[in-house]
Copies of this chain bind each other. A is one copy, B any other.
Amino acid sequence: MANANMNCWPLIVIGGSSERSQETMGAFQEFPQVEACRLYTKFSARPSSIETIPSIIEKAVRSSIYGRPGPCYVDIPADFVNLQVNVNSVKYVECCMPPPVSMAETSAVYMAASVIRNAKRPLLIIGKGAAYAHAEEALRKLVEQCKLPFLPTPMGKGVIPDNHQYCVSAARSRALQFADVIVLFGARLNWILHFGLPPRYQPDVKFIQVDICAEELGNNVKPAVTLLGDTNAVTKQLLEQFNKTPWQYPPESSWWQTLREKMKSNEAASKELASQKSLPMNYYTVFYHVQEQLPRDCFVVSEGANTMDIGRTVIQNYLPRHRLDAGTFGTMGIGLGFAIAAAIVAKDRNPGQRVICVEGDSAFGFSGMEVETICRYNLPIVLLVVNNNGIYQGFDADSWKEMLKFGDATAVAPPVCLLPNSHYEQVMTAFGGKGYFVQTPEELQKSLKQSLADTTKPSLLNIMIEPQATRKAQDFHWLTRSNM
């Protein structure tokens, strides 16, 4: 129902409920589904009759994409399926118009520009909202014109390419910790950004918030300036200010120097890890080789714990809205569904565009059976299962056997450990896709090459890594607390 040229995708769940006439009688799967969806949706409703289905769907679609986007639920009782109505009584409605766009107040834009101009250590943070708003062009112009360092959030990656010269992802903690002015483009100050609070930030850091959602502004911090409106429109407003009175942040400032040094040392540390020759491989080695071969325009889907967190720092995105991961909620099990959806979009819109799905072994366990769907529809997704035999950390096969000697596995095995050496690639071959059991960098290079070359079939690379592998050492202990 979405307009082809709408550039945004409503998220509507259509659910089936039991026959209306059997309600309260103990019908099959009788449940108050509209009510049960209330907490999870922007709009949840059941059409009161077949005649009103079009209006309800229109409202669900519109609610899903207007304002801050979100999911909606429409409930269709079983008896609607066979019910007949007079065609003339149906209230047809057209699809809604593309979402209305709003801009920030001119004086606030002016003030924001002024705060940026006076910043000693400025930083832009590009969030998911910037991607939703299609702000990529405006943001790139702003960054390049003003020569400002920027950081993407996990879902903001690719709005400006990760390898852009002003991207300071490799010095993320440093950038957050010492910036004196931070401009948030569609990024919330939630746990992902450590709530905007010390010790991850300067106590007197000035936040400028650009957001489509008024109620988001001022969450957890008192912002210096708030710019309420569509992120793309507001970014253009800021650009206009810097066009009127051109300004750029000095590229040789000590802030840029600090950031560049930190990036260099972090990148060196990563590269050092990536080049380790010991087997099993570590995360960095794996992602380094993956990154080398990934097509520039591919979709990257990812979920897992370390796999998602470390993978994000190595695997680069060059296009907006081409990364899909477990998101703010960290919901495991959504990876394969995302990959299937992306593959169907790609098939339709840009045949040849690939979908790479980078899964932790535990994450894969949530919905790994979806490879049947992938194979059924011949979607040439490349699935990488980065397998450390566990969640965060597993055991190797020998330790596992040793441990089991002492008794009952259900009692002894730590709940975060999974079966060592599971052959996840066979879950793929069971349904006719290609499977690779990968233990060395060379095997990884080769099997990935073959997988990417084959556009007719899905493949799964089961990549064995050191069960105790972790991320590289962090400067401060509080950098490794998952929610700090």
- Chain A interface (Cβ < 8 Å from any Cβ of B): 18-29, 31-32, 34-36, 38-39, 42-43, 45, 48-49, 52, 55-56, 58-59, 62-63, 66-67, 78, 93-94, 96-97, 99-106, 108, 188-191, 195, 213-215, 217-220, 222-223, 226-230, 233, 328-330, 344, 347, 364-369, 372, 375-378, 408-410, 413, 418-419, 422-427, 429-432, 482-483
Contact = CB atoms under 8 A, between A and B. Distances in A.
A128 to B, nearest CB: 13
Nearest to A70: B215
A483 B22 contact: yes
A409 B377 contact: yes
Contacts of A38: 32, 35, 38-39
A462 B214 CA distance: 46
- Oligomer copy total: 4
11 contacts: A22-B191, A23-B45, A26-B191, A26-B219, A29-B329, A101-B104, A101-B105, A101-B228, A103-B105, A105-B233, A425-B430
Given A409-B377, A426-B426, A67 B25 contact: no
* Residue with the highest number of chain B CB atoms closer than 10 Å, among A96, A100, A228, A329: A100
A483 B19 contact: yes
Contacts of A58: 218
Given A422-B372, A483-B18, A28 B97 contact: no
Given A48-B23, A190-B25, A330-B28, A103 B100 contact: no
Given A22-B483, A26-B189, A189-B26, A368 B369 contact: yes
Given A94-B222, A366-B369, 16 more contacts: A19-B483, A22-B191, A24-B43, A25-B220, A26-B189, A26-B190, A29-B329, A43-B215, A59-B219, A96-B218, A103-B105, A103-B106, A347-B410, A375-B419, A423-B429, A426-B427
Given A102-B104, A429-B426, A48 B21 contact: yes
A31 B55 CA distance: 18
A239 to B, nearest CB: 14
A188 B26 contact: yes
Contacts of A93: 222
Nearest to A417: B376
Contacts of A367: 369
A223 B96 CA distance: 9
A226 B97 CA distance: 9
A191 B101 contact: no
A223 B97 CA distance: 9
Contacts of A39: 31-32, 35-36, 38
A52 B20 CA distance: 10
Contacts of A213: 67
A34 B45 CA distance: 13
A255 B105 CA distance: 36
A102 B328 CA distance: 27
Given A23-B45, A190-B25, A218 B103 contact: no
A215 B108 contact: no
Nearest to A400: B376
